[in-house]
Amino acid sequence: MNLLKPLLEPVIQPALDKATSVIPLHWQIRGAHAFQSLKQRAGKARPIPVFSEVPLPDVSTLALQDIDVSNPFLYRQGLWHSYFKRLRDECPVHFQKSSPFGPFWSVTRYEDIMFVDTHHDLFSAEPIITIGPQPEGLELETFIAMDPPKHDAQRQAVQGVVAPKNLAQMENLIRSRTADVLDRLPVNEPFDWVQNVSIDLTSRMLATLFDFPFEQRHKLAYWSDVAASPPEATGGSSNTAEAFDVAADIASNMSSLWRDKEARIAAGEEPGFDLISLLLANATTRTMINRPMEFMGNMALLIVGGNDTTRNSMTGGLWALNQFPDEFAKLKQNPGLIPNMVSEIIRWQTPLAYMRRVAKEDVTLNGQTINKGDKVVMWYASGNRDERAFEQDPDQFIIDRKNVRKHLSFGFGVHRCMGNRLAEMQLRILWEELLKRFDDIEVLDEPEYVQSNFVRGYTRMSVKLTAIT
Amino acid sequence: MGRITFIEHSGTEHVVDIEVGQSLMQAAVENGIPGIDADCGGACACGTCHVIVDKDWVQATGGINADEQGMLGLTPEITDTSRLSCQVTLSESLDGLIVRLPEFQM
> Mean pLDDT, to the nearest integer, of A194-205?
95
pLDDT given at position A1:
45
Q: Do B40 and A421 touch (CB under 8 A)?
A: no
Task: Please give the ipTM for the structure prediction.
Answer: 0.93
The share of chain A scoring above pLDDT 70, in percent, equals 95
- The answer to the question of residue B105 being in a domain is no
Residue A21 has pLDDT above 70, yes or no: no
Confidence of residue A19 (pLDDT cuts 50, 70, 90): low
pLDDT digits (tens, 9 = 90+) for A59-114: 999 999 999 999 999 999 999 999 999 999 999 999 999 999 999 999 999 999 99
> Mean pLDDT, to the nearest integer, of B58-72?
94
Residue A20 has pLDDT above 70, yes or no: no
Confidence of residue A305 (pLDDT cuts 50, 70, 90): confident
> Mean pLDDT, to the nearest integer, of A290-315?
89
User: In B, residues 39-98, which contact A (CB 8 Å cutoff)?
Assistant: 39-41, 43-47, 67, 70-71, 73-74, 76-77
> Mean pLDDT, to the nearest integer, of A230-241?
92
Residue A253 has pLDDT above 60, yes or no: yes
Asked if residue A124 lies in contact with residue A361, where contact means CB atoms within 8 angstroms, the answer is no
pLDDT given at position A18:
54
- The answer to the question of residue B29 being in a domain is yes
State the Cα–Cα distance between residues A301 and A293, nearest whole angstrom. Answer: 12
Q: Do A165 and B37 touch (CB under 8 A)?
A: no
What is the rounded average pLDDT for all residues in chain A? 91
Which residues constitute the domain of residue B95?
A: 3-100
Q: How many domains are contained in chain B?
A: 1
Which of A371-382 are b and which e, b meaning 16 or more Cβ less than 10 Å from the residue's Cβ?
eeebbbbbbbbb
- The answer to the question of residue B106 being in a domain is no
Rounded to the nearest 5°, which phi and psi values hold at A127? -90, -15
State the Cα–Cα distance between residues B10 and B33, nearest whole angstrom. Answer: 13
Q: Tell me which range, A38-52, A271-285, A333-347, is most confidently predicted by mean pLDDT.
A: A333-347
> Mean pLDDT, to the nearest integer, of B12-40?
95
Residues of A in contact with B41 (CB under 8 A): 403, 406
pLDDT given at position A11:
47
- The answer to the question of residue B88 being in a domain is yes
**Regarding predicted confidence, which is higher, A163 or A258?**
A258
Q: Do A165 and B77 touch (CB under 8 A)?
A: yes
Q: Do B76 and A159 touch (CB under 8 A)?
A: yes
Q: Do A114 and B43 touch (CB under 8 A)?
A: yes
The CATH number assigned to the domain holding B29 equals 3.10.20.30
- The answer to the question of residue B42 being in a domain is yes
Residue B93 has pLDDT above 80, yes or no: yes
State the Cα–Cα distance between residues A253 and A321, nearest whole angstrom. Answer: 39
Strands B82-84 and B50-53: antiparallel
pLDDT given at position A34:
80
| Cβ-Cβ contacts under 8 Å for A271 (sequence gap 6 or more) | A265, A277, A278, A280, A281
C-alpha dist (Å) from residue A170 to A166, A269, A339: 7, 21, 18
Which chain A residue shows the shortest CA-CA distance from B44?
A: A413
Domains parsed from chain A with CATH numbers: 46-467 (1.10.630.10)
E strands along A346-390, which residues? 354-359, 363-365, 368-370, 375-379
